[in-house]
Structure 1
Amino acid sequence: MSNNMIVALDIGTTKVCALVVESDQNGKLNVLGIGTSKSGGMSRGVVANIDRTVKSIQEAVQIAESKPGTKIKSAIVGIAGEHIDSFKTNSIITISNAEHEITESDIDRLIEDAKRVHLSRDREIIHIIPQEFIIDGQTVTHDPIGMAGVRVEASMHVVTGLITAAQNIHKCVERAGLKVQELVLQPLASSYSVLTEDEKEVGVALLDIGGGTTDLAVFEDRTIRHTAVIPIAGDHITTDIRKGLGILPEQAEELKVNHGYAMVSEVVDDEPILIPGIGGRKPIEINKKLLAQIIQPRVEELLDIVAMEIKRSGYSRHLSAGIVLTGGGALLKGMPELVEYVLGVPAKIGIPQTFDGGFAREVENPIYATVVGLVQYGLKRGAGKSTIEFAERSQVSDEETGKASPKNGKDEKNSSPQKHDPFGIGKGVQFLKKFINKNIDNV
């Protein structure tokens, strides 16, 4: 594998994807190969069967190596799952020489200080991301490197995960014959491929709806502010269809992908759909609105949890750029409209468009947001080398500093759609009732 080649591996619940990208002499990024295989050993973002996961990785890598001379030896690998957690912590260092200019080494000291935070024995740190800096009591509105100061403080966004979950990913990749260059949080990776710097500046939430989990990342001032992994995603919708209609899983998936709508009111052509019968039985006939009536409640449940997570982040009133949807679930017809209806903010589908030549057109699809983002992450960070990124501006939200925003009551749904305020207490109570009454672990 040449020095200017970078490989990413997205090991998801429904698919495994390997992407090979090379930078030419002019700095253009060419897609040399892309391989996708059905994921057989993952459950809700974590390894459930090592042998099946290894086989899926090998199949995806073999397809990605189809171009002569391409041999994958290592990859940047995504990580997600219900075990992922994040929190904010503060770091402080002192500098004895008042004329000393702050360097990357000083920032590394701040990061090392953040690593001293107490974690349970079964967890490890995946990322520590600097957010704001205070130098001698003054908030810095850009990166602090080159400035003078004797007391440097920083707020850090810390992402942690289960040690065993990370170990199992390492084990699967290594048994497939590859080396893990770095584990990267999947929603962080996806943000590199579908979010613009302007969107991250004014405030945006990325919602990556996969098969087993939905990943959320909130940005403002070009800095990640909150991350969460939600255990409801596309597979739950498929299961609802399967159980609701009494059909096979593959039939339910086909219905969802080809005929499904996230919102009943978005169904225009309510034509009948014929489903082959099982074991010689008569075919089942349904219409698209009935299918949408099965799908919409599950998507609304997901969005209720998203609303709670965004409120918990303290940035619910800071999403000027709204929501950017990606992942396979973003392709469900009517999804942006339902997101706007439930969350009350603009929504659009994010499509990665970052490469030239080769198989570039093939990756211009929301389902490849994570694997493309992993490549972009690796390129920006020197393919695994430790570098530091800073926001150009820094500002803490009113909610995060303890200044409470006005709390609104629950909005009642009317027959005609209207935008809601999902970030008030009423919506939280609605979600909690729904969460208690539904055993999402057994769907």
Structure 2
Amino acid sequence: MDITWAHKCWPRPRGDPQNLVRQYPDALIISGNPPVPLLRSRRRSSTALSRRKRTVGLDLGTSRVSVVIAESDDPTGPVSIMGVGETPADGLRKGVVVNLDKTIASIQAAAVAAERMAGQRIESVVVSLGGTHLWSQNSTGVVAVASGDREIGEDDVQRVVEASRAVSVASDRQVIHVIPRAYTVDGQDGVRDAIGMTGHRLEVETNIITGAQTAVQNVIKCVHGAGFDIEDVVCAGLAAGEGVLTPQELDLGVCVVDIGAGTTAVVVYNEGAARHLAVLPVGGNHVTSDIAIGLRTTLDEAESLKLNYGHTLPDVIDHGEKVEVRQVGGDRINALPRRFLAEIIGPRMKEIFQMAREEVRKSGFDGLLPAGVVVSGGGSRLMGTTDAAQLVFDTSVRLGQPTGVTGLADRAQGPSFAVSVGLVKWGMRHHSRDHVNGRQQATFGSTYQKTVRWLRDFF
């Protein structure tokens, strides 16, 4: 059997090729560290390949790294899940890379699992960006319409959006997204699609999301170090919204609260665009830590108790119900009231939702979100989460499950996959239209491209 080496940024694997062939007799061996075996994919017709677009989402979370491979022939339609891979994240804290080598290893492990399931090789990814260093600010831009007949074109829209980027940004920060909220044409405001309209003066209101340059560059280094190109870098909170929200919710107004392990992202949407983004420094790991301290048990035992018996509302737990807790430093097991466990969990979850509502107040949309709140992320899997959120927000709350997915949809179910599924949907929807149209532009922008080129030249 001939061995084909698909070179990326790693040298030829050190492993014995013949051992790899014996272990994976039907595999194409991809260069990597360690070597990556990839099952050969079935051939498709050139017509099918040209019609369908494949996108890979890479979610770099605090507790896990997940990869989703999907394809679609309609940028705004359902995506077909082809492969899913997950692995523990050892090199990230609060959504930020703290160990390059461990993060690279986690990315490679998750990618291998997804590649083997899909039977296809990953070339490039849409990667998530998390961390409390992310925040948003409002801006405006104005330009004169360039064409002689005064008809607004895509170039005019791009120029006015670029004009809105002229805001004061600290030297250690960079623009991640520029999201148009509404356009104004010759004083007529509230325009959502300005292309094709006639006017002399074009204005735009945008929401600009910035992040720490070092955090962004470390993510880029890890992805390239794992052997993949980058299609786009997307804030995890925006990806979660892309994954779980419906068009009707986006138009009416809705808040996404994506509870991760180390952080919680809060994104407020209205009239189809993100109006406010914030990342809170608390998440599901804080609940686990509270349980471990309160019950004097290990973090692993606390996580198991949280997921299997935890509840956010103590009052709904029967007083006589017990749970067995293994104590730290031995085999001693105590039977404790389950209500006590809920009394530990409840205050922390209430705190998270109170902090999230404060961000909604800052956005100016408190009480103006008819579609309510959608809670997603691994931290939302606790029983009673939506009820606890409803008590704080005083509005309708639902659990955010990935929408618009087919194929191996059962492999990417649940609120934990909100970001990874949202990343592939983002890649399908935004890249299909070159990042620019009359309704929304949300792109990493020229700053990202310069950073990518610099890193590639440097490494």
**TM-score of the superposition, structure 2-length normalised?**
0.81
Aligned-partner SS, 1:381: helix
Question: Following the alignment from structure 1 to structure 2, what is the Cα–Cα distance between the partners of residues 326 and 270?
Answer: 31
Any idea what the Cα deviations from partners look like across 1:298-330, whole Å, max 9, x if unmatched? 111111211111000000021111100111111
> Of 200, 219, 238, which aligns to 2:269?
219
Are 2:57 and 1:14 aligned?
A: no
Are 2:234 and 1:189 aligned?
A: no
Contact kept, 8 Å, 2:194 with 2:438, in 1: the verdict is no
Are 2:248 and 1:198 aligned?
A: yes
> Of 24, 32, 40, which aligns to 2:90?
40
Structure 1 position 389, deviation (Å): 5.5
> Of 311, 317, 323, which aligns to 1:273?
323
Aligned-partner SS, 2:178: strand
> Of 362, 369, 387, which aligns to 1:319?
369
Decide whether aligned partners of structure 1 residues 124 and 271 sit closer, same or farther in structure 2, where only a CA change above 3 A counts: same
Contact kept, 8 Å, 1:182 with 1:384, in 2: the verdict is no
The residue correspondences of 1:403-422 to structure 2 (distance < 5 A) are none
Question: Following the alignment from structure 2 to structure 1, what is the Cα–Cα distance between the partners of residues 78 and 308?
Answer: 36
| RMSD after superposition | 2.0
The residue correspondences of 1:313-352 to structure 2 (distance < 5 A) are 313-352=363-402
Contact kept, 8 Å, 1:9 with 1:76, in 2: the verdict is yes
Structure 1 position 340, deviation (Å): 0.8
Amino acid at match of 1:168: N
Moved more, 282-291 or 167-176: 282-291
Contact kept, 8 Å, 2:250 with 2:270, in 1: the verdict is yes
Structure 1 position 29, deviation (Å): 3.4
Query: In the alignment, what sits opposite 2:415?
Result: 366
Question: Following the alignment from structure 2 to structure 1, what is the Cα–Cα distance between the partners of residues 99 and 433?
Answer: 27
Question: Following the alignment from structure 2 to structure 1, what is the Cα–Cα distance between the partners of residues 316 and 98?
Answer: 37
Aligned-partner SS, 1:66: helix
Any idea what the Cα deviations from partners look like across 1:350-371, whole Å, max 9, x if unmatched? 11132222x2112121100101
Decide whether aligned partners of structure 1 residues 25 and 100 sit closer, same or farther in structure 2, where only a CA change above 3 A counts: closer
Query: In the alignment, what sits opposite 2:227?
Result: 177
Amino acid at match of 1:123: R
Query: In the alignment, what sits opposite 2:259?
Result: 209
Structure 1 position 281, deviation (Å): 4.8
Amino acid at match of 1:8: G
Question: Following the alignment from structure 1 to structure 2, what is the Cα–Cα distance between the partners of residues 304 and 96?
Answer: 47
Structure 1 position 386, deviation (Å): 2.5
The residue correspondences of 1:280-299 to structure 2 (distance < 5 A) are 280-299=330-349
Give every structure 1 segment of 4 or more consecutive aligned residues whose post-TM-superposition deviation is greater than 4 Å: 24-28
Aligned-partner SS, 1:373: helix
Contact kept, 8 Å, 2:57 with 2:68, in 1: the verdict is yes
Question: Following the alignment from structure 1 to structure 2, what is the Cα–Cα distance between the partners of residues 7 and 96?
Answer: 38
Consecutive unaligned residues of structure 2, counting only runs of 5 or more, are 1-40, 42-48, 441-459
Moved more, 267-276 or 369-378: 267-276
Any idea what the Cα deviations from partners look like across 1:101-145, whole Å, max 9, x if unmatched? 111111110121122211100000000011111111111433111
The residue correspondences of 1:27-66 to structure 2 (distance < 5 A) are 29-66=79-116
Structure 1 position 212, deviation (Å): 0.8
Decide whether aligned partners of structure 1 residues 220 and 28 sit closer, same or farther in structure 2, where only a CA change above 3 A counts: closer
Moved more, 328-337 or 264-273: 264-273
Decide whether aligned partners of structure 1 residues 58 and 317 sit closer, same or farther in structure 2, where only a CA change above 3 A counts: same
Structure 1 position 28, deviation (Å): 6.2
Query: In the alignment, what sits opposite 1:230?
Result: 280
Any idea what the Cα deviations from partners look like across 1:3-28, whole Å, max 9, x if unmatched? 62111100000110000112369976
> Of 174, 188, 197, which aligns to 1:124?
174
Contact kept, 8 Å, 1:5 with 1:23, in 2: the verdict is yes
Decide whether aligned partners of structure 1 residues 96 and 348 sit closer, same or farther in structure 2, where only a CA change above 3 A counts: closer
Query: In the alignment, what sits opposite 1:376?
Result: 425
> Of 234, 241, 249, which aligns to 2:299?
249
Query: In the alignment, what sits opposite 2:135?
Result: 85
Decide whether aligned partners of structure 1 residues 280 and 45 sit closer, same or farther in structure 2, where only a CA change above 3 A counts: closer
Question: Following the alignment from structure 1 to structure 2, what is the Cα–Cα distance between the partners of residues 223 and 101?
Answer: 24
Amino acid at match of 1:115: R
Contact kept, 8 Å, 1:131 with 1:224, in 2: the verdict is yes
Query: In the alignment, what sits opposite 1:99?
Result: 149
Contact kept, 8 Å, 2:310 with 2:383, in 1: the verdict is yes
Question: Following the alignment from structure 1 to structure 2, what is the Cα–Cα distance between the partners of residues 107 and 166?
Answer: 27
Question: Following the alignment from structure 2 to structure 1, what is the Cα–Cα distance between the partners of residues 328 and 288?
Answer: 18
Contact kept, 8 Å, 2:250 with 2:269, in 1: the verdict is yes
Decide whether aligned partners of structure 1 residues 389 and 227 sit closer, same or farther in structure 2, where only a CA change above 3 A counts: farther
Contact kept, 8 Å, 1:24 with 1:30, in 2: the verdict is no
Query: In the alignment, what sits opposite 2:201?
Result: 151
Question: Following the alignment from structure 1 to structure 2, what is the Cα–Cα distance between the partners of residues 69 and 307?
Answer: 44
Structure 1 position 224, deviation (Å): 1.2
Aligned-partner SS, 1:325: strand
Contact kept, 8 Å, 1:6 with 1:379, in 2: the verdict is yes
Consecutive unaligned residues of structure 1, counting only runs of 5 or more, are 392-443
Query: In the alignment, what sits opposite 1:5?
Result: 54
Structure 1 position 93, deviation (Å): 0.4
Question: Following the alignment from structure 1 to structure 2, what is the Cα–Cα distance between the partners of residues 295 and 387?
Answer: 44
Contact kept, 8 Å, 1:98 with 1:148, in 2: the verdict is no
Question: Following the alignment from structure 2 to structure 1, what is the Cα–Cα distance between the partners of residues 108 and 175?
Answer: 28
Amino acid at match of 1:104: E
Question: Following the alignment from structure 1 to structure 2, what is the Cα–Cα distance between the partners of residues 28 and 82?
Answer: 31
Question: Following the alignment from structure 2 to structure 1, what is the Cα–Cα distance between the partners of residues 230 and 318?
Answer: 47
Aligned-partner SS, 1:232: coil
